[in-house]
Chains A and B, each alone.
Chain A
Amino acid sequence: AQTVTQSQPEMSVQEAETVTLSCTYDTSESNYYLFWYKQPPSRQMILVIRQEAYKQQNATENRFSVNFQKAAKSFSLKISDSQLGDTAMYFCAFMKLRSFYNTDKLIFGTGTRLQVFP
Chain B
Amino acid sequence: NAGVTQTPKFQVLKTGQSMTLQCAQDMNHEYMSWYRQDPGMGLRLIHYSVGAGITDQGEVPNGYNVSRSTTEDFPLRLLSAAPSQTSVYFCASSNPYEQYFGPGTRLTVT
Q: A: which residues have CB within 8 A of B? A: 4, 33, 35, 42-45, 47, 50, 91, 95, 97, 100-103, 105-106, 108-111
Contacts and interface: CB of A to CB of B under 8 A. Distances in A.
Given A43-B88, A43-B104, A103-B31, A110 B42 contact: yes
B18 interface: no
User: What size tier do the contact residues of chain B reach?
Assistant: 20 to 34
A16 to B, nearest CB: 29
Interface stretch (B20-28, B78-86, B94-102): B94-102
B103 A111 contact: no
A106 B45 contact: yes
B13 interface: no
Contacts of B90: 45
A35 B95 CA distance: 14
User: A-B pairs with the 10 shortest C-beta distances?
Assistant: A45-B101, A108-B42, A108-B43, A110-B42, A105-B45, A43-B104, A103-B96, A103-B94, A103-B31, A100-B96
18 contacts: A4-B42, A42-B103, A43-B88, A43-B104, A44-B101, A44-B103, A45-B90, A45-B101, A47-B99, A95-B99, A100-B96, A102-B31, A103-B99, A105-B48, A106-B43, A106-B92, A108-B44, A109-B42
